[in-house]
Amino acid sequence: MTLELANVNGRSLIKMSGTDRESTQPVSGIIRAPFPSFLRSSPLSLTEYTHNEMSRPDTKQKMLNIARKLFWKKGYNATSMRDIANSYGCKPANIYNFFKKKEDILYDVLLEEMEQIISPIEDLETDDITDPENKLRVVIENHLKTTLSFRRSAKLLFDVGLGHLPPQRRKIITDMRDRYDRIIRRIIRKGVELEVFAPIDEKLAGFMIASMITRSRLWYHPNKGLSVPALVEFISNFSLNGLKKT
């Protein structure tokens, strides 16, 4: 079977031929080429095709990625659900199949970033074997790589985005942020106890390290001579040199 776009009396139609019958039907959705196997083997309507497209497991993630970029370019308030749909190439109704409102998208964007920051380091909170220096390097490397991977799409988004969330959702995000703070403070405290680090205000030191990492997304550019591994090494050494007992 072959499919082709035809114009009949000013109407855009899909013409199906090469089977035991030839038919046309109105265009009622988004056509993406090449057509997948299910369209080659059965005469599905475009409504059914759009449903299949929207049912792909990665559809929601693609929408989140597009929304994140639009929030970065236009700002959260200036970005509409229609903007997100247009950038994805679907109707606004398709976005609402996954997100009831724009706030849901913002929440998932912030939650995803915090999960990627927390998940790889959560075991460090109860790890009494790895030495504090190495644990701090792991925290810095993971946080920096996550931060820079969202650099263009999340600049200041975390700072301003929380204000657009209702209290319950805001608390979930801030609880995760507090857990990150707790992990890094515990590492510093352990280093002080082992006399690897000099006595220091662990809360203030943790805030300074996290802030240094987070703000790197404002100025860092991969094409301006500094690689991510080199920046990881610099911030790690800078932080450890300031903490070490002399």
**Would you write out the chain's pLDDT as a tens digit for each of its 246 residues?**
444 444 445 444 444 444 444 444 444 444 444 444 444 444 444 444 344 555 566 899 999 999 988 887 888 889 999 999 999 999 999 999 999 999 999 999 889 888 999 999 999 988 989 999 999 999 999 999 988 886 555 544 565 678 888 999 999 999 999 999 999 999 999 999 999 999 999 999 999 999 999 888 888 888 888 899 999 999 999 999 999 987
For residue 8, what are the β-bridge partners? 11
Position 218 scores a pLDDT of 80
First to last CA, the chain: 77
For 41, 70, 78, 109, the CA distances from 74, given in Å and listed in that order, are: 42, 6, 6, 16
Which residues are CB-neighbours of 74 under 8 A, at least 6 positions away? Answer: 83
Burial 161-189 (b: 16+ CB within 10 A, else e): bbeebeeebbeebeebbebbeebbbbbbb
Domain with CATH 1.10.357.10 in the chain: 106-243
What pLDDT shows up at residue 69? 86
Give the distance from CA 181 to its chain's centroid: 21
Q: Domain 59-100 classified CATH 1.10.10.60?
A: yes
Task: Evaluate whether 245 touches 196 at the Cβ level (below 8 Å).
Answer: yes
Amino acid at 66: I
Instruction: Give residue 135's pLDDT.
Output: 96
- Token digits for 88? 């994805």
- Residue 209 is predicted with a pLDDT of 96
- Reference 79, options 66, 62, 97; nearest CA is 66
CATH 1.10.10.60 residue ranges of the chain are 59-100
pLDDT of residue 215: 86
- CATH number for the domain running over 106-243: 1.10.357.10
